[in-house]
Amino acid sequence: MLDLTPYINLLKSGEIVAFPTETVYGLGADAWNPSAVKKVFKAKGRPADNPLIVHISNEKQMEDFASEIPESAKTLMTEFWPGPLTLILKKKPKVLDLITAGLDTVAIRMPDHKLALQLISSTGPLVAPSANKSGRPSPTNPKHILNDFGQNFPVLDGGATEIGLESTVLDLTSEIPVILRPGKIGKKEIEAVLGSDVNINSTEKSDSPKSPGQKYSHYKPKASVRYGEISSIENDTLYLVQNTFPESKNVISYDGNLALLSKELYDRFRQADIEGYSTVFIEKLDLFRKKFPAFYTALTNRISKAAD
């Protein structure tokens, strides 16, 4: 079994460590240590007005961060935690302003990953934005992190992540809950569990303090990203298609499997840069929307941000 002691010791002494979750790798720091939290912003080059998600390993830890835990949150936690759903709740005054970017709310989730839960059980709650340089695609395997932060960066290796796209972010502080960032857990699923409507506010470029992360461009490779119908195959482009063209070195077919495309998208973005493609062209996904509604919404959200 992997020995977590060196990573636990680094985190306890105020250092930052990358660790796997079921969505993407996080860049962890002790949520109660301001100098450790500052290191996260500095290492990523993350703007100070983009708040961080607090990762916990048991529900009791919520009480140190959230000033009130509404019934809706309890219901969602029971159904979806541990899992890829981040909840925005009113914060307690003692939560570091650095984490919340001065907002009166805090983002919290419990990741569904054995190593992450084991780590957090020993260190206590960790802030953990995606472990990439700001603006780059989120890391879905340790190689991506070493490429961004250097070969000696401390990474707890859990192999490739399962989901590959960041968590669904759900704001529970307004009368009608709002999805600020779509993910694997979709609107319909949340509505079914809550028994009430949920709004979605993810695609607009918003300066609204409600969804600070959404105003920044994210998830971008150096190659330009295109989305739509493909008419011909060019050598300088990496194509992600749906069985409409024969596979070759630069044509990869997903055959309508949007879960697999989600899992691999960021790795394909990074592959395009390493192999020198000028463009990544993703074939339209509309035909598979019904079968994979949440992945469809999350994928088109990330692809449209990368294509900006």
CA distances from 278 to 81, 223, 238 (A): 40, 5, 8
Q: Least Å distance between CB 108 and ligand AMP?
A: 9
CA atoms within 13 A on the CB side of 50: 19
State which of residues 72, 130, 141, 161 lies at the interface with Mg ion (CB under 5 A). Answer: 130
Q: Is residue 30 part of the contact set for ligand AMP (CB under 6 A)?
A: no
Contact stretch for ligand AMP (CB under 6 A) within 2-10, 194-202, 209-217, 248-256:
209-217
Who contacts 17 (Cβ-Cβ below 8 Å, separation ≥6)?
Answer: 7, 10, 11, 27, 28, 154, 155, 156
Q: State the binding partner of 51 from Mg ion, ligand AMP, none, CB within 5 to 8 A by kind.
A: ligand AMP
Q: Is residue 169 part of the contact set for ligand AMP (CB under 6 A)?
A: yes
What is the rounded distance in angstroms from the CA atom of residue 166 to the CA atom of residue 305?
13
Q: Least Å distance between CB 244 and Mg ion?
A: 31
Q: Is residue 86 part of the contact set for Mg ion (CB under 5 A)?
A: no
What is the rounded distance in angstroms from the CA atom of residue 37 to the CA atom of residue 99?
7
Q: Which residue is nearest to ligand AMP (CB)?
A: 213
- Which residues in the 74-133 window bind ligand AMP by CB under 6 A? 88, 100, 103, 105-107, 129-130
Structure tokens at 56: 């916990």
Answer for the pair 213, 181: CB distance below 8 angstroms, yes or no. Answer: yes
Q: Is residue 166 part of the contact set for ligand AMP (CB under 6 A)?
A: yes
Q: State the binding partner of 123 from ligand AMP, Mg ion, none, CB within 5 to 8 A by kind.
A: none
What is the rounded distance in angstroms from the CA atom of residue 191 to the CA atom of residue 151?
44
What is the rounded distance in angstroms from the CA atom of residue 132 to the CA atom of residue 18?
10
Residue number, 142 or 182, with CB nearest to ligand AMP: 182
- Phi, psi values for residue 134, rounded to 5°: -50, 135
Burial of 97 (0-12, 13-18, 19+ CB in 10 A): middle
CA distances from 239 to 20, 216, 265 (A): 28, 26, 11
State which of residues 111, 186, 212, 221 lies at the interface with ligand AMP (CB under 6 A). Answer: 212
Which residue type does 226 have?
A: R
DSSP 75-93: HHHHHH-SSSEEEEEEBPT
Encoded one letter per residue, x for contact with ligand AMP by CB under 6 A and - for no contact, window 178-207 reads --xx--------------------------
* H-state helical runs in 67-206: 71-80, 97-100, 114-123, 142-149, 187-194
Q: Is residue 145 part of the contact set for ligand AMP (CB under 6 A)?
A: no
State which of residues 28, 83, 186, 213 lies at the interface with ligand AMP (CB under 6 A). Answer: 213
Q: Which residue is nearest to Mg ion (CB)?
A: 130
Residue number, 217 or 278, with CB nearest to Mg ion: 217
How many residues of this chain interact with Mg ion, rule: CB under 5 A?
1
Q: Least Å distance between CB 24 and Mg ion?
A: 8
Can you give the binding site for Mg ion, defined by CB under 5 A?
A: 130
Can you give the binding site for ligand AMP, defined by CB under 6 A?
A: 50-51, 53, 88, 100, 103, 105-107, 129-130, 166, 169, 180-181, 211-213
